[in-house]
Structures are given as C-alpha cells and as structure tokens.
C-alpha cells in the first residue's frame, strides 16, 4: 500500500489543510452553569472530541487538546485551530470515554493534564480492553478505570447513565509493531431519557443494522465522515458510508439526528479538508437526512441544525 500511496501524496493538489486560519472559536464556560433545556447538549471540539451532556451527566469523549495527532508534538498532523476552551475551564466531568488508542483519539498530553484536574477527581475513565494501561500510565487513577469488551457496560454517575461497548470495523495500535493488542469499539450512552450512539472509528459493515434494531432507537447518532480513502475504506467509511450506516441503523425513525464527526481538525487523508462535509450535505439534501452539525466549541442543544462554519473565510 505504501508504494501506491507515496505518489498520491506527492501529486495531491487538494486543500488538505486550510489556507487561512480558522475561527477563532471559543467555548463560553458559563453556559455549563445551566443544564440543557432538552436534557441533551453537545459541545463539539473538532474531530471526534466532544462533551456530551445527557440527562444531567457529563461525558468527555475522545478528548484531544494535543497540538498534533502523533507520537511527537513537533511532527505529524497538526490542529487546524486551537482548543476552544482550556482544560482548566471545563465543568465537573462524570466520565471520560476513550474509544481506542489511536493518537487522534488518545493524546498523551491531554490525558496527563486531565488526570490532574480537580473537576475530574471523581470521574470514571471508560475505555476499550487493554487501553486502561495507557490511561493509568498517563495519570488516570487505576481504581477509576473500567475497560469494556464488546457488549460490556459501565455504570456512571451512580447509575444515572450507562455506557455499552459495541463492535466496530477498525483496528488499534500506536505504532507499526503493536497492532491489534488492544480493542476498539463503538458505544451506546443511555441516560434517563435519552440514548446516543457514538460510532467512533469504523468502516462500513453489516453490523449496523443489528445495532440499530437491538440497541436503538437513538436520539443522536455520531458517525465518522473524514480521513477517508478508497484504499482504506474497510477502516474509515467516509460521508457516503456514514449515510448508509445511518440508514442501516434505522434512519430518522430509529437513529435520530445524524452528527458527522472525525473531520475538520486534522489532515489525515488525501481529500480536501472541507470535502467530507460538503459531500455529506449533498447526500443529506438528496435523501432528506436530518443533520446535527454545530460550530466547533459551541454548546448546542440537540435539535436539527447545520452550521456552515467551514465556509467562512
């Protein structure tokens, strides 16, 4: 594959990194002083990082505040825009969910800082099998880490919310030499009134139909659209695959609103950085898919809405 990829990268003319600075985007931490009126609110920080507020419980999902999605902070995919809020400004967090060990989902610097914050002193750290060792190494309290196998569940905030791990079509490893030593997954987050599906990283596969039928309906379905290429479509599904997965999960009737994730923050493929979202919009208009795609850093109640932040220059 590498021999095929090198000429593609050398000859690529796409705008894979924004030519002009994006933003500024800023999260107003005062918003968190009041609970969401609907009981469901999301602050998307870019890529797959977000703060999910579900029925009084706050879950920080795949947080990446690191400058680069790489083992070294001087080389590798660099953020398109700075974090919209400092980690020190975050409200009290009930749980941190880390889907798998890839650098664009698990940053060493971020985890080291989070583990020292008072607002996370009582937080549970929920992750996939084998990843807990890394979290503990980066400072998370070992007694507060729970690893999940597929179909395993974690109860957080005294049972106010449950997190269930489900299969996904992806892989793991933080180098070329430790592939598949830890697990990855997708997740269902169930509050007292709402249910959310976090697809994390996955290629398109036939398991989405079963997930939707068995574990839905969902109020919100988060699916990846970026870092896609035909050569690795088994691992990342792109916007067309996300639209198909959403329909397999049950469409508007059972999958709720579709939230595109895994885009807009890092250059991880050959496509233009806007392309995944522009393509998803085409599909959504054609198929009448209800989207939820807020501006980075804006705490947003989960209602049908579509920001066009990426078009502003």
Structure confidence at residue 9 (pLDDT):
63
21 in a structural domain = no
Average pLDDT of the chain? 95
* pLDDT confidence band for 307 (50 / 70 / 90): very high
* pLDDT confidence band for 96 (50 / 70 / 90): very high
Question: Residue 116's CB: how many other CB atoms inside 10 A?
Answer: 11
Structure confidence at residue 175 (pLDDT):
87
Q: What is the mean pLDDT of residues 266-293?
A: 97
Structure confidence at residue 176 (pLDDT):
79
- Which tens digit of pLDDT belongs to each residue from 46-77? 999 999 999 999 999 999 999 999 988 889 99
8 in a structural domain = no
The tokens describing 195, both together, are 């249910």
* pLDDT confidence band for 85 (50 / 70 / 90): very high
First to last CA, the chain: 36
Burial classification of residue 138, based on how many CB atoms lie within 10 Å of its CB (0-12 exposed, 13-18 middle, 19 or more buried): middle
221 in a structural domain = yes
Residues 148 and 131: their CA atoms lie apart, in Å, by 10
- Which tens digit of pLDDT belongs to each residue from 154-188? 999 999 999 999 999 999 999 878 888 999 999 99
310 in a structural domain = no
The tokens describing 42, both together, are 């999301």
20 in a structural domain = no
Structure confidence at residue 232 (pLDDT):
82
The CB-side HSE value for 129 (13 A sphere, CA atoms) comes to: 13
Question: How large is the C-alpha radius of gyration of the chain?
Answer: 18
Estimate to the nearest angstrom the gap between the alpha carbon of 237 and the chain centroid: 14
> Do 69 and 104 meet the contact criterion of CB atoms below 8 Å apart?
yes
> Do 182 and 97 meet the contact criterion of CB atoms below 8 Å apart?
no
What predicted TM-score, i.e. pTM, was given to this entire model?
A: 0.96
Structure confidence at residue 178 (pLDDT):
85
Please state the domain count of the chain: 1
176 in a structural domain = yes
Residues 260 and 305: their CA atoms lie apart, in Å, by 12
> What range defines the domain where residue 166 resides?
26-305
Convert the chain into a string of H (helix), E (strand) and C (coil).
CHHHHHHHHHCCCCCCCCCCCCCCCCCCHHHHHCCCCCCEEEEEEECCEEEEEECCEEEEECCCCCCECCCECCECCECCCCCCCCHHHCCCCCEEEECCCCCCCCCHHHHHHHCCCHHHCCCEEEEECCCHHHHHHCCCCHHHEEEECCCCEEEECCCCEEEEEECCCCCCCCCCCCCCCCCCCEEEEECCCCEEEECCCCCCCCHHHHHHHHHCCCCEEEEECCCCCHHHCCCCCHHHHHHHHHHHCCHHHHHCEEEEECCCCCCCCCCCCCHHHHHHHHHHHHHCCCEEECCCCCCEECCCEECCHHHCC
For residues 246, 249, 251, 253, the Cα torsion angle rounded to the nearest 10 degrees is: -150
- Which tens digit of pLDDT belongs to each residue from 204-221? 999 999 999 999 999 999
159 in a structural domain = yes
| Domain of residue 83, CATH code | 3.60.15.10
290 in a structural domain = yes
- Which tens digit of pLDDT belongs to each residue from 231-269? 889 999 999 999 999 999 999 999 999 999 999 999 999
- pLDDT > 70? residue 313: no
Structure confidence at residue 107 (pLDDT):
96
**228: nearest Cα among 278, 292, 166:** 278
């Amino acid at each position: 594959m590498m021999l095929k990829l090198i000429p593609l990268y050398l000859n690529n003319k796409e705008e894979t990194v924004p030519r002009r600075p994006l933003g500024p985007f800023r999260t107003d931490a005062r918003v968190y002083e009041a609970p969401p009126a609907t009981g469901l609110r999301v602050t998307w920080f870019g890529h797959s990082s977000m703060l999910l507020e579900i029925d009084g419980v706050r879950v920080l999902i795949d947080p990446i505040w690191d400058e680069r999605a790489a083992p070294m902070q001087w080389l590798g995919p660099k953020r398109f825009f700075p974090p919209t809020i400092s980690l020190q400004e975050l409200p009290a967090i009930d749980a941190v969910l880390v889907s798998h060990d890839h650098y664009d989902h698990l940053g060493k610097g971020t985890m080291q800082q989070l583990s020292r914050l008072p607002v996370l002193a009582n937080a549970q750290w929920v992750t996939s099998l084998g990843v807990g060792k890394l979290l503990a190494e980066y400072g998370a309290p070992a007694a507060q880490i729970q690893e999940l196998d597929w179909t395993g569940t974690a109860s957080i905030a005294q049972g106010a919310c449950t997190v269930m791990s489900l299969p996904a079509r992806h892989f793991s490893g933080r180098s070329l030499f430790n592939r598949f030593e830890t697990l990855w997954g997708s997740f269902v987050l169930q509050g007292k009134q709402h249910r959310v599906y976090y697809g994390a990283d996955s290629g398109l596969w036939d398991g989405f139909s079963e997930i939707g039928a068995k574990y839905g309906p969902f109020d919100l379905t988060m699916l990846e659209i970026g870092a896609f290429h035909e050569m690795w479509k088994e691992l990342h599904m792109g916007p067309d695959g996300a639209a198909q997965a959403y329909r397999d999960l049950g469409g508007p009737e059972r999958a709720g609103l579709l939230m595109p994730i895994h885009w807009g923050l890092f250059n991880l493929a050959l496509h233009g950085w806007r392309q995944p979202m522009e393509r998803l919009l085409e599909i959504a208009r054609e198929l009448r898919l209800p989207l939820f795609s807020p501006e980075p850093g804006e705490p947003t109640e989960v209602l049908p809405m579509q920001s066009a932040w990426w078009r502003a220059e």
